[in-house]
Amino acid sequence: MILALLVLCLVFVKTTDDVCEDGDASCGAPDGKGECSVFDWESCDLNENGWAQIEKDDWDVDALHSMFPEYEKHEQGSFSKAFGAKFRNFMNMDLDMYWDDGGKGVYNGRLKRRGHSAINTYGGHTFIFYKRGTKKEIIRYLMDSTKTTYIIHPKRNSLKNEEYYAYLATVKTEEDYFKEHGIHWQAPVNRPLPLLNRWKPEHLGKTRAILSNKTHFNCVPESEDLEEMSRCRDGGLTEIDIVTISEKPQVFWIRNFLSSFETEHIISLGYPNIHRSLAGTDGGFESTSRTSKTSWVAQKRSLVMKQIYHRAADVLRLKPKYLREGSNAESMQYVHYKEGEFYNAHHDFGMDGRNNSRYITMLLYLNDRPVETGVDGGETGFPHARGGKGMKAYPDKGDAILFYNILEDGNYDDRSLHEARKPKGNWEKHLCNFWIWDPHR
């Protein structure tokens, strides 16, 4: 009976070809192909970076639908009608961009001369472009959900150069892509395929796990001395599950990523430095679409943060060099939401004409939502998930949500649209954004 139980509880490390199918540039695959027992994880054949991948039973789909529910009926179809619009300025002057709200207009940033900009919008909205610093209107555009690119054409023929005519040709390519795939081409037309590795969703409830030797901390070590590090860390290996909760967009639930101590440690580093969150590009600006407060928490702030970055590399199956700040990874962005604060639906990818963009988003949940009467909200919402019915996610403290902003073919995924919903009731939400770029920052 005991022997039968042991056999049933064995899981197996995936072979090198299975794990590292996207190439050596993206992940360090396990060297070994041995068995991993849930009773003796230390017998696992870890790769040179200190992790192994195991297969697990799938999660029950009904249970996932209950944990990550659809939007309420009256909310469905609202944000799901949003789409990304790109603007290209071929004039030799900077422009101010305003959304026409029927009044004085709402400022939406600067569009530099011969530059790029983008916004999340809806069919029927109008955007007006003025000469920078004035109210001299240059052009206005009515948004059309079947069109993603809007060009501010030059007034003088001398500015209609090779670059201008090449860009006009890309619009036809984008239109053909939309007809074939049903989503807009948001990336530069010549953007290469992503370099970095990705988890494939396969199907709803698909469950894999990473066994990592970057175990959880329960205190801050005073040095990297092995004895001191061992005093503050769990022994053995840490199991972190990766569960598919949406196929379009590609969204995963990461279970057991942080310890309770680590979540509180990040809050202690981030909260004292918070300031009003910014939206948009070109340095950003205060916007009524984003009312939270943020600060930045660098990897070098503590040995605990360094370990969290390395553990993220294991979960993402990336070599640690790709998660160094200044390479592909940004510092973590701590975010604080009080009751009623929010961030409207937006994308994390950039549409400034460059091929490099945010590829991976990890959202680290640093506190639980209180289980009390009148307490609700605070979820991360994905309006395009579940065929436009939307999906709301608020996993347990220490868990994370992972999603990809770039598709396998190099296009930016319009369906990765997401929002931070308002906390309701007397509670505050603590979160961390973690972004990894492809092919580089």
Q: What would the pLDDT profile of 253-312 be if each residue is shown by its tens digit?
A: 999 999 999 999 999 999 999 998 877 655 667 787 788 999 999 999 999 999 999 999
Structure tokens that stand for 184 in this block = 């807009």
Which residues make up the CATH 2.60.120.620 domain(s) of the chain?
Answer: 6-64+194-438
The CA–CA distances, whole Å, from 251 to 199, 263, 289 equal 10, 22, 23
Query: Is the whole-model pTM more than 0.85?
Result: yes
DSSP 197-231: ------STT-EEEEEESSPPBSS--SSS-HHHHHH
List all residues 6 or more positions away from 220 whose beta carbon is below 8 Å from its beta carbon: 232, 265, 302, 303, 304
pLDDT score for 77: 66
In the chain, CATH 2.60.40.780 covers: 82-181
CA dihedral over 278, 184, 124, 75, signed as positive or negative: negative
- Within 10 A of 370 (CB to CB), how many other CB atoms are there? 15
List of residues 6+ apart from 403 with CB closer than 8 A: 246, 249, 250, 251, 252, 360, 361, 382, 416, 418
Q: State the Cα–Cα distance between residues 54 and 287, nearest whole angstrom.
A: 44
CATH topology of domain 6-64+194-438: Jelly Rolls (2.60.120)
Q: How many CB atoms lie within 10 A of CB 150?
A: 20
Q: Residue 74 — pLDDT band, cuts 50, 70, 90?
A: confident
Confidence grade of residue 22 (pLDDT, cut at 50, 70, 90)? very low
What's the average model confidence in pLDDT over 337-355?
89
Q: Is 134 within 8 Å of 93 (Cβ atoms)?
A: no
Give the count of alpha carbons within 13 A of 44, CB side only: 30
Mean pLDDT, the chain, rounded, equals 87
Fold (CATH) for 82-181: Immunoglobulin-like (2.60.40)
Tell me the pLDDT tens digit for each residue of 389-422: 999 999 999 999 999 999 999 999 999 999 999 9
**Angle, vertex CA 195, rays to CA 332 and CA 411, nearest 5:** 85
What's the pLDDT at 16? 32
Distances, alpha carbon 20 to alpha carbons 312, 317, 367, in Å: 17, 8, 34
Q: Residue 441 is encoded by which pair of tokens?
A: 């920052």
In this predicted structure, the answer to whether residue 154 has a pLDDT above a threshold of 80 is yes
Interatomic CA distance for residues 421 and 425, integer angstroms? 13
pLDDT tens per residue, range 114-137: 999 988 888 899 999 999 999 999
Tokens standing for 264?
């509180």
Report the pLDDT value the prediction gives residue 374, as an integer from 0 to 100. Answer: 85
Percentage with pLDDT > 70 across the chain: 88
* Cβ proximity of 196 and 328 under 8 Å: yes
For residue 90, the 8-state DSSP code is: -
